[in-house]
A and B are shown apart, each in its own frame.
Chain A
Amino acid sequence: METTDRSKKYINPYLGGVLLGLLLLLTVYITGRGLGASGAVKNAVVASVNEISPAHVKHNAYYSQFISDDVNPLNNWLVFEVIGVLAGAFISGALSGRLKWKVEHQPGIRWRTRLIFAAAGGMLFGIGSQFARGCTSGAALTGSAVLAAGGILTMMMIFGTGYLFARFFRKLWV
């Protein structure tokens, strides 16, 4: 199926899926909860704001949920997991020679446009993941695997919205 020279550098997507599924299974088996990513950023935000103004954190109804006096919000397994993701991706990139500073974008747009949209997309993802209590990995992937209604709804909403509105952003990618 995927036999062109370029895609050969990546592993077979079905193999990747099975490996990811087994990893998810193992993670749930060990920790009782699944993979995640946006939670770590949230903890980083809480930690940074706490560093600047602890009073503000105590006062804000959102931050204060995630803070306690004896535990640093960065001392959280999700944060370590994300550090692991960085390490693992770096290893994989190094092994297959993909380490390179680069702004990846469709040739028809300028790199500046790409970066602006990347920042905007990241911002939206940050906001959305707080509403949905998780992002693609935490809510959609893990949530669906444990049959959580919220997870499956999140998955359908993300990809459904993606397909419905794809045409408006076509220029960015194709």
Chain B
Amino acid sequence: MNRTYILMALIMFLLGAGLVFLPQPRNNRELSPEQILLSLNEPFRYISTDQAARRIIAGDPALLLIDVRDSAAFAAFSLPGAVNIPFSHILDEENQALLAEGSKDYVFYSNGDILSEKAWLLCSRLRHRKLYILQGGLNHWVETILRPPVPAATSDAAVFDQYDFRMAARMYFTGEGELPGMRKAGESAAQRSVRPIARPSGKRKHEGC
């Protein structure tokens, strides 16, 4: 009886000791092409301009906007709270360290979304998590948030709600009330104060044990 225990303990000890000397393969650091393809088909990697606006207004601490344009463009115009990581510097050590923290939702944006797509692809391949792309980039931001088109009178309530939100957001971001030559104030949403917008709950699903 006793001998069996000693033998088992010895085997366990040797197996454990073996691990100290065996190098753990690090070939898993990068995603395989198949995995990238899989994640590229994932629609959740986009954040719409409306979602982003809501979260910026709510002051969501879990949101980090990353401007991947060059620093001149960043200096000229950027979203509130964004940090600038020019695309050419994205692999720099300190920038990678920032992404590796994984404690926030990292949202890439550029003028369109070509550059941010590239940044997303590169960083996803390096297995950073919680990466997103601002859908349509700053161009879409201007089209939807800064100059929202007035919906047709026949649109349903949801569209008007969205419009009201956008007008409120516009006021928040620009400080301007009305759009020149657009819908007259009256009951316009521009006069409404920005409603507090709750942060979407359940950002990630945690399976219990």
Contacts and interface: CB of A to CB of B under 8 A. Distances in A.
Contacts of A136: 209
A99 to B, nearest CB: 27
B14 to A, nearest CB: 15
A65 B1 CA distance: 52
Contacts of B202: 61, 64-65
Nearest to B203: A65
Given A1-B1, A14-B8, A38 B209 contact: yes
Nearest to B9: A14
A78 B205 CA distance: 15
B32 to A, nearest CB: 15
Contact of A139 (B1, B5, B8, B209): B209
A33 interface: yes
Interface string B1-43: 1000100100000000000000000000000000000000000
Q: For chain A, which range describes its interface: under 10, 10 to 19, 20 to 34, or 35 or more residues? A: 20 to 34
Contacts of A37: 209
Contacts of A137: 209
B154 interface: no
Interface residues of B, number: 10
B209 A133 contact: yes
A129 B5 CA distance: 35
A138 to B, nearest CB: 1
B88 interface: no
Given A14-B5, A14-B8, A61 B208 contact: no
Nearest to B208: A39
A66 B205 CA distance: 7
A134 B8 CA distance: 31
Nearest to B12: A18
B207 A39 contact: yes
Given A1-B1, A14-B5, A138 B205 contact: no
Nearest to A3: B1
Interface in A114-168: 129-130, 133-139, 142
A61 B206 CA distance: 13
B155 interface: no
B205 A134 contact: no
Contacts of B5: 1, 14
Contacts of A66: 205
B174 interface: no
B8 A42 contact: no
Interface in A42-67: 42, 61, 64-66
Interface in A1-37: 1, 14, 33, 35-37
Given A1-B1, A14-B5, A14-B8, A130 B208 contact: yes
Contact of A138 (B1, B201, B208): B208
A133 B8 CA distance: 34
Given A64-B201, A64-B202, A38 B208 contact: yes
7 contacts: A1-B1, A1-B5, A37-B209, A61-B202, A65-B205, A66-B205, A133-B208
Given A39-B209, A66-B205, 4 more contacts: A38-B209, A61-B201, A129-B208, A133-B209
